Chains A and B, each alone.
Chain A
Amino acid sequence: MSIAKPKISRPNLPRNSQGLTRRDYEGGMSTLCAGCGHDSITAAIVQACFELSLPPQSVAKLSGIGCSSKTTAYFVSGAHGFNSVHGRMPAIAAGASAANRTLHYIGVSGDGDSLSIGLGQLGHAIRRNVDMLYLLENNGVYGLTKGQFSASAELGSQSKKGEKNDHEPIDPVLLALSIGATFVARSFSGDKEQLVPLLKAGLMHRGFALIDILSPCVTFNDHEGSTKSYAYVREHLHTPVAADYIETRGEIKVDYGPGEAVTVDMHDGHQVVLKKLDHDYDPTDRARALGYVQEHIARGEHVTGLIYLGEGRRNFHERHQTPEQPLNSLPYEMLCPGSDRLGSIIKRYR
Chain B
Amino acid sequence: MREVNRPVAGVNDFVVKFANVNGTGSASANGLIMKTVFRMGVPVVGKNFFPSNIQGLPTWYEIRVTGEGWSARSGRVDVMVAMNSETYVRDLKEVSPGGYLLHDSSWAHPVLLSREDVTVMGVPLSELCAENFEGARARILMKNIMYAGVMAALFELDLEVMRSLLTESYARKPALVDANMKAIQLGYDYAKANFQTPLPMRVEPLQRTAGHFVMDGNTAAALGCLYAGATVGAWYPITPSTSLMDAFKSFCMKHRVDPETGQRNFLIVQAEDELAAIGAVIGAAWNGARSFTPTSGPGISLMNEFIGLAYYAEIPTVLFDVQRVGPSTGMPTRTQQCDLLSCAYASHGDTRHVLLFPANPEEAFYLSVQAFDLAERLQTPVFVMLDLDIGMNDWMVPDLQWDDAYRPDRGKVLDAQTIQKIEKFHRYLDVDGDGIPWRTVPGTGEKGAYFTRGSGHNRFGGYTEDSVEYQEVVDRLVRKFKTAAGMVPKAIIKGSGAGAGIVSLGSCDGAVLEALAVLTRQGIKLDYLRVRGFPFGEEVEEFLASHEQLFVVEQNRDAQLKSLLTLETAVEKRKLHSILHYSGLPVTSSFIVEGINRAMSKGEAA
Contacts and interface: CB of A to CB of B under 8 A. Distances in A.
Interface of A: 1-2, 56-58, 60, 62, 72-73, 77-85, 88, 90-100, 102-103, 120-121, 123-124, 128, 317, 320-323, 327-330, 332, 334-339, 341-343, 345-347, 349-350
B416 to A, nearest CB: 9
A95 B234 contact: yes
A81 B451 contact: yes
A338 B280 contact: no
A93 B454 CA distance: 16
A79 B286 CA distance: 13
21 contacts: A81-B452, A82-B283, A82-B452, A83-B451, A83-B453, A84-B454, A91-B280, A92-B280, A92-B282, A94-B279, A95-B283, A98-B284, A121-B276, A320-B268, A323-B258, A323-B265, A335-B226, A338-B404, A342-B223, A343-B399, A346-B213
Given A83-B451, A95-B269, 18 more contacts: A60-B287, A60-B442, A80-B449, A82-B451, A82-B452, A98-B231, A98-B289, A99-B232, A99-B284, A100-B289, A120-B276, A121-B279, A321-B263, A330-B231, A335-B256, A336-B227, A338-B404, A346-B400
B276 A83 contact: no
B373 to A, nearest CB: 12
B134 interface: no
Nearest to A76: B449
Interface in B452-495: 452-455, 462-463
A317 B229 CA distance: 19
Contacts of A121: 272, 275-276, 279
A56 B450 CA distance: 12
B231 A95 contact: no
A91 B452 contact: no
B433 to A, nearest CB: 26
A1 B453 CA distance: 11
Contacts, number: 226
A95 B451 contact: no
Q: Which of B261, B269, B404 has the most CB of A within 10 A?
A: B269
Given A83-B452, A323-B263, A327-B231, A95 B282 contact: yes
Nearest to B226: A337
Contacts of B527: none
Interface string B253-272: 00110100111111111011
A253 to B, nearest CB: 33
A88 B275 CA distance: 8
A347 B215 CA distance: 11
A342 B402 contact: yes
Contact of A99 (B226, B283, B404): B283
Contacts of A73: 451, 463
B401 to A, nearest CB: 7
A88 B223 CA distance: 30
A100 B227 contact: no
B288 interface: yes
B279 A84 contact: yes
Nearest to B452: A82
A336 B406 CA distance: 10
Contacts of B454: 83-85
A57 B443 CA distance: 5
B264 A91 contact: no
List the 3 closest pairs (A to B, CB-CB), nearest first. Answer: A91-B279, A95-B283, A78-B446
B449 A78 contact: yes
Contacts of B264: 320-323
A124 B231 contact: no
